[in-house]
Amino acid sequence: MTADKILIASGTRPSIPKIEGLDKVNFITSNEALRLKKLPKTLTIIGGGYIACELAHFFGSLGTKINIIQRRDLLIPREDIDIAAKFTEIFSKKYNIYLGYNTEYVSKTEEKRDKYFYVLAYNKKGKKLELLSDQLLVATGRTPNSDLLHLEKTNVKADKKGFIKVNKYLETNVKGIFALGDAVGKYQFKHNSNNEAYYAFNNMIQPERQIAVNYTAMPHAIFSSPQIAGVGFTEQDLQKTNIRYTKSSYPFLETGMGKALEDRDGFVKMLIDKASGKILGCHIIGTEASILIHEVLVTMKSGGGKIDSINNTIHIHPSLSEVVQRAASMRRE
């Protein structure tokens, strides 16, 4: 097959860590997790990112006992530090969370005619962790499928991680070959693939009218319990820059609907540019976080980006959206 234009949308697959014994046991990844025909009594999850936490929520809600082995000190560590800390606290009350542990060995063992996965891990102080479970899930990130494309037979370039390099128009270094989505790896979300597809289509069929991809206010959400949503900088991101910012947060429980829902843990956190008043980031944990974030997205993308656009808008009482408005009005140094 040949073509004048080629679009690479080859995606990613689960990344499998190098753990002794792992290649000898029939563990599952996110590819197989929702296709199990039997509900595990106990599920051990290696990894503490959003995939691990979403699947922990899913199986935990069905009654499975959950163990999570996380090498970092918090779950979902890429989220804003306050969100990650609260989420870890909440999950630690529901499930068995082992933070700061590196998994070093896995095997399959038999005990009273039943087969179990045996997992051995150690923390930085050398403390040993041994777990038995009837199912093992590996959720340690994703890796691009570019290594399956035989790119060495072309001049198409990829970075050290295997993500295909593209310019602002999603074209590779080879004229006429474009790439998008997880294959590029800029934002590994389905909604970003949808966003990039619009630009890739235009730029392939109208090369004389190419448009640079607009990534402004690219959001994400974690569909666990509680839900999480975020956009823009995290506070730890801003601490690495010279940007002068203010921040504010407001709890769900201090609003009428938040109180009615008895959401005692949820809050909205805003990060605002001190000079311009523009929203630099917004992070939400709590009921319907994935919906609430959209008010902030519209403001950042199309409303000039200033916090006062939210603060000065009349919000229905008692709606959950009031928590976003109140967070917007509570700026502090």
Integer angstrom CA distances of residue 118 from 42, 60, 111, 221 = 12, 20, 11, 32
pLDDT of residue 223: 98
Q: Check if CATH label 2.10.10.90 holds for domain 6-13+143-209.
A: no
Rounded CA-CA distance 302/191 in Å is 18
- The model carries a pTM of 0.94
pLDDT at residue 304, rounded to an integer: 86
Beta-carbon contacts of 312 under 8 Å, excluding residues fewer than 6 positions away, are: none
Report the pLDDT averaged over residues 157-168: 97
Q: Architecture of domain 17-139 in CATH?
A: 3-Layer(bba) Sandwich (3.50)
Calculate the average pLDDT of the chain. Answer: 96
Amino acid at 285: I
Where exactly does CATH 3.50.50.60 map onto the chain?
Answer: 6-13+143-209, 17-139
In this prediction, residue 113 carries a pLDDT of 65
CATH 3.30.390.30 is right for the domain spanning 219-328: yes
User: Across residues 201-215, what is the average pLDDT?
Assistant: 97
Residue 163 DSSP one-character state: P
CA dihedral 55, 58, 64, 67 (to 10 degrees): 30
Where in the sequence of the chain do the CATH 3.30.390.30 domains occur?
219-328
